Amino acid sequence: MLGELSASLVHELNQPLAAILSNAQAAQRFISRDQPDLAEVRSILDDIVANDRRAGQVIQRLRALFRKDRSQQREVDVKQIVLEVLQLIRNDLLNRGIGVEAELDDDLPVATGDSVQLQQVLLNLTMNACEAMEGSGVREPIRARARRKDTQTIEVSISDSGPGVSEEQLGSIFLPFMTTKPKGMGLGLAVSRSIIEAHGGRLWVLSTPGQGATFGFDLPIAAAPAAP
């Protein structure tokens, strides 16, 4: 992953750095003229600031990706986490005209994990689903599911009826800086994957192009306390 990451990182940082260098060298030339074009130089400086911030954002997101601080691991109610995330984005979904249907098992066992991190993952998957739906013009609701998959695993998933993920994209969609969004950074799914894997789980996607996509994760059920 580091090799893929460094190649992507080089590209993501190269763009703002290239713009900053060309802008700065152009400004040097404009300002050396007998009658410097200060309006042009001012506009160049605005772009330099914006591009520098863009480079900074790449670094910040990388820091989040490789965050080393300890997460808060405790027993978590996955159903509650799903409900809290849906509540959090309820207004946003309403504004976008997108509905949500939740299918959550009543008797879900508890998992062990960091509830804030798991919320981040669910939020990311749900917002991705919204964006996929928005572009498609389809008005089917998003489906949020949480169920006991087997004796050791809880499965949580978010399904949309957007354009789906192509076979080509499926192979790389969880890699850092891979994005299908015009303004996306391509870090949401990569960060989500690293969070889920740190929980001993697995992030996955199922999709048929043209018929939507389901992104989900499996989480291990918390071990039962040892008998006294």
Partner 1 sequence: MVAEHPRIAVVDDEADVLRAMQRLLRSSGYAVDVYATGEAFLHAVSGDCPDCPDCLLLDLHMPGISGFEVQARLRARNCKVPVVVITGHDTAAAEGRAMAGGAVAFLRKPVDGELLLATIERAIGAG
In the complex, the residues that contact partner 1 under the rule CB under 8 A are 10-11, 14-23, 25-27, 29-30, 40, 44, 47, 50-51, 54
- Least Å distance between CB 122 and partner 1? 31
- Least Å distance between CB 69 and partner 1? 32
Both tokens assigned to 103? 């299918």
**Position 107, amino acid:** D
Is there a contact between 100 and 59 (Cβ–Cβ < 8 Å)? no
- Least Å distance between CB 51 and partner 1? 6
**64 vs 96: CA distance, rounded Å:** 28
Both tokens assigned to 194? 């690293």
Is there a contact between 159 and 102 (Cβ–Cβ < 8 Å)? no
Q: Which is nearer to partner 1, 30 or 204 (CB)?
A: 30
- Least Å distance between CB 72 and partner 1? 39
- Least Å distance between CB 27 and partner 1? 8
Q: Which is nearer to partner 1, 14 or 60 (CB)?
A: 14
- Least Å distance between CB 21 and partner 1? 4
SS3 content of the chain, % helix, strand, coil (to 5): 50, 20, 30
**63 vs 41: CA distance, rounded Å:** 33
Q: Which is nearer to partner 1, 52 or 105 (CB)?
A: 52
Q: Which is nearer to partner 1, 16 or 216 (CB)?
A: 16
Q: Which is nearer to partner 1, 37 or 77 (CB)?
A: 37
The secondary structure element, H or E, covering residue 111 is strand 111-113
Q: Which is nearer to partner 1, 11 or 63 (CB)?
A: 11
What is the crossing angle of helices 38-65 and 2-32, to 10°? 170
In 3D space, the residue among 175, 212, 214 whose CA is nearest the CA of residue 191 turns out to be 175
In this structure, the dihedral spanned by the alpha carbons of residues 15, 19, 20 and 26, taken in order and rounded to 10 degrees, is 160
